[in-house]
């Protein structure tokens, strides 16, 4: 039997505190009558779980606090089959927490206290180097240096590098030179380039990195831009319950498919389908 594809995820680990409400509050407004739920979250952790569910052997690099929330977060990841041996337990630092409000149409508002996530260093990432992965996935909920360290692991392994630039911030020249496949959503692509049209934004990012770019478009699917041009891959029609974590499902499955050796557009097609299914269930991890 062939070994499962190997994915290294370098990213954040949070605990999500989610309020399901009839509608999202306006600035300064209180919306009462909601239902509270606690769940695992963080882009890195969510992406690792999605890749593991897609059949990949996943190792996660990140950090949690030496607190109850960190203990619970790691237990949930182990239960999903994610290797958390390279996740640091940091004393005197809180585990990351996301406060999320989800309305009756599945739309959300999110505020994050980064906590231990912003203590992840390049040294943490370099220390986790093991056998060569089939794909490396990193996101911007960590600082630049650990993201760069992850990118260099991908370069040295000769494997695809996915970078989810969320929340959006300017791309470091050192990262652009490592030719990441960027996976912003439409607003992030616009913020990174100043281009409101997703196709123009994707082409502008491709010009910066010399690599393919995938712009996720929510219920409209995704746009892929590469040397062969651009293509729109539509999403199946579903009834959205909760869009929290849909992008993470997309990235995790995309990483698993690329590690398996799939061609980019075929991998994006699978990732779009997975993200569509994820919004039919409550919670960032469904």
Catalytic residues: 248
**Residue 217: count of CB within 10 angstroms of its CB:** 18
Cα angle vertex 28, ends 23, 34, to 5°?
35
According to DSSP, residue 190 is labeled: H
Q: What is the 3-state secondary structure (H, E, C) of 234-284?
A: CCCCCCCCCCCCHHHHHHHHHHHHHHCCCCHHHHHHHHHHHHHHHCCCCCC
- Say how far apart CA 283 and CA 280 lie, in whole Å: 10
DSSP string across 14-56: EEEEEEE-SSPPPTT----S-EEEEEEE-HHHHHHHHHHHTT-
Q: Where are the beta strands (DSSP E) in 21-160?
A: 35-41, 57-65, 83-90, 96-102, 108-113, 135-139
Residues in the chain: 286
CA distances from 11 to 132, 142, 195, 217 (A): 18, 6, 27, 22
Q: Find tokens 């996101």 and name the residue.
A: 139
**Quick count: other Cβ atoms within 10 Å of Cβ 59?**
21
């Amino acid at each position: 039997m062939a070994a499962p594809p190997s994915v290294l995820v370098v990213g954040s680990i949070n605990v999500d505190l989610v309020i399901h409400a009839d509608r999202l509050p306006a600035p300064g407004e209180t919306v009462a009558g909601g239902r509270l739920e606690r769940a695992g979250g963080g882009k890195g952790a969510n992406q690792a779980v999605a890749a593991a569910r897609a059949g990949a052997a996943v190792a996660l690099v990140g950090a949690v606090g030496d607190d109850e929330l960190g203990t619970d977060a790691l237990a949930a990841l182990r239960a999903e089959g994610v290797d958390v041996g390279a996740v640091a337990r940091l004393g005197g630092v809180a585990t990351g927490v996301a406060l999320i409000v989800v309305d009756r149409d599945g739309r959300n508002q999110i505020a994050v206290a980064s906590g231990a996530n912003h203590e992840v260093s390049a040294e943490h990432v370099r220390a986790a180097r093991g056998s060569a992965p089939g794909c490396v996935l990193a996101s911007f909920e960590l600082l630049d240096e650990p993201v760069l360290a992850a990118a260099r692991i991908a370069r040295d392994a000769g494997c695809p590098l996915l970078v989810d630039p969320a929340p959006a911030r300017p791309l470091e020249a050192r990262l652009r030179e490592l030719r990441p496949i960027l996976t912003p959503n439409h607003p992030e692509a616009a913020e990174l380039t100043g281009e409101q049209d997703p196709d123009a934004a994707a082409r502008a990012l491709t010009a910066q990195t010399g690599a393919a770019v995938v712009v996720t478009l929510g219920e409209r699917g995704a746009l892929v831009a590469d040397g062969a041009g651009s293509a729109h891959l539509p999403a199946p029609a579903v009834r959205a319950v909760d869009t929290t974590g849909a992008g993470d499902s997309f990235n995790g499955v995309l990483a698993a498919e690329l590690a398996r050796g799939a061609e980019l557009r075929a991998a994006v097609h699978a990732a779009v389908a997975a993200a569509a299914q994820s919004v039919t269930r409550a919670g960032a991890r469904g």
